[in-house]
Amino acid sequence: MDILQDESSRGQAVHTDNALEDGDGDHQPPIPEPVASSPPRQSQRAQPKTFLTGPPLTSCRHVDNYEKLNRIEEGAYGVVYRARDKQTGEIVALKKLKLENEKNGFPVTSLREIHTLLLAKHPNIVNVKEIVVTPSMKGIFIVMEFVEHDLKSLMGTMSSPFLQSETKTLMLQLISAVACLHQNWIVHRDLKTSNLLMNNAGQMKVADFGLARRFGSPLGHMTQLVVTLWYRAPELLLGAKEYSTAIDMWSIGCIFGELVNKEPLLAGRGEFDQLKRIFQLLGTPTERNWPGMAKLPGLKTFNFVTQPHNNLRSRFPYLTENGLNLMNRLLCYDPEKRITADEALRHPYFTEPPLPKDPSLFPTFPSKNAGEKRKVYETTPSAPKAAHGEDDGPGLFDVAGVESTGGFRLRI
């Protein structure tokens, strides 16, 4: 099985094959260019024949080239293992695709994932190395770079939130990766902390592209049942038939709040409860701050009590004014006015003190994915822990203690 990529299509508004789309739009076949009535004039001398050449075609390697070390996790579409390349000794993540219940051939979610990862190369997007198969060709595996942690599990073991300087670094990495996706006409549609990986070099990797898809201009209709509930934008919850890359930016706003307070920002128990929590936090939307919302079908189903106040400041008392402004712009009700990834990268929040921390200065933690057990180290003396991830400004280097997570934290 071979995967070829047309580099000339990058950054253009194109509609991909039906196998990679939701299938709810009509696709017209391309109109062939007119053929000249007579061939162009040739020189009297015989012209040498030319042949088109392309990338070499090679068969997929067998999965036997990898040694499985331990199982990392199992999801709806595959099982992920930590494995070692027997030839090079490199540690990788091996994702076995679930094909047992597939009736229509290769799963479309896996096609989307492979297609997206081959198209969007970025330091903060997980890298696909190759596709391998079993000798019988009944098992198909995606070989990806191994990353030690997922952000959700990692924060669950931390005794305090990330520092503000660390939060800024992680946010910049996330927004930069999403900007790359959007520039390549790709919408992720499932950004959440459990789909963000982080290595022990302080580098974040966006993963899990099973719901990602290419889009064009005009956008057209796409399926509404996307994005995990806690990170789902209000236009999706209210049944919008068309949406844009703005749904990814709303998810980033929810992740921002989770990084700052080390807890989910909007942990609803259903769609009605999720909308209720959004309105309680940001105030009930109106036609003034969200033109056209009255036409959304969900408003005919749900009946909400009017709450006119934005309560973000009380939820994030330690966040700077610039930080609060960025969060408000990420969580803007009107998708047309919601901040874009390119705009967010230039937001003044990232240039005010404390500045983003160098990733190499991030603490290191035992890797759950590698089967490492948590260690507790004694440190003498221990500096006070920062409250709610707040830095206390530039100063001398000091060790803020090794927290119960077993990670060393160097504060600047």
Domain parsing of the chain, residue ranges = 61-145, 149-350
Give 387's contacts (C-beta < 8 A, 6+ positions apart): 318
**Burial (0-12, 13-18, 19+ Cβ within 10 Å), 79:** middle
Give yes or no for a contact between 112 and 20, defined as CB atoms under 8 angstroms apart: yes
Q: Is the pLDDT of residue 116 over 90?
A: no
Specify the residue for token string 């035992």.
366
For the 149-350 domain, the top CATH level (class) is: mainly alpha
The fourth-level CATH superfamily of domain 61-145 is Phosphorylase Kinase; domain 1 (3.30.200.20)
Catalytic choice (64, 150, 190, 342): 190
Over residues 392-398, the mean pLDDT reads: 33
The C-alpha torsion from 309 through 314 and 319 to 322, rounded to 10°, is: 20
pLDDT band (50, 70, 90) for residue 285:
very high
Count the Cβ atoms, other than its own, within 10 Å of residue 239.
Answer: 14
Specify the pTM. Answer: 0.75
> How remote is the C-alpha of 344 from its chain's centroid?
16
Q: 347: closest CA among 315, 325, 319?
A: 325
Average pLDDT, the chain: 78
- Give per-residue pLDDT as tens, 65-108: 999 999 988 766 678 999 999 999 999 999 888 776 666 667 77
187's tokens: 């919408």
Q: What is the pLDDT of residue 108?
A: 75
Phi, psi of 39, deg, nearest 5:
-65, 150
Q: Is the pLDDT of residue 246 over 80?
A: yes
Q: Is 6 a catalytic residue?
A: no
379's tokens: 């440190």
- Give per-residue pLDDT as tens, 38-77: 444 444 455 555 554 545 556 788 889 999 999 988 766 6
3-class SS of residue 339:
coil
Phi, psi of 280, deg, nearest 5:
-65, -30
**72: alpha, beta or left, given left = phi > 0 and alpha = psi -120 to 50?**
alpha
Dist CA 205 CA 233 (whole Å): 22
Distance between start and end Cα atoms, the chain: 50
- Give per-residue pLDDT as tens, 349-386: 999 999 999 999 998 887 766 655 544 333 323 333 33
108's tokens: 């479309």
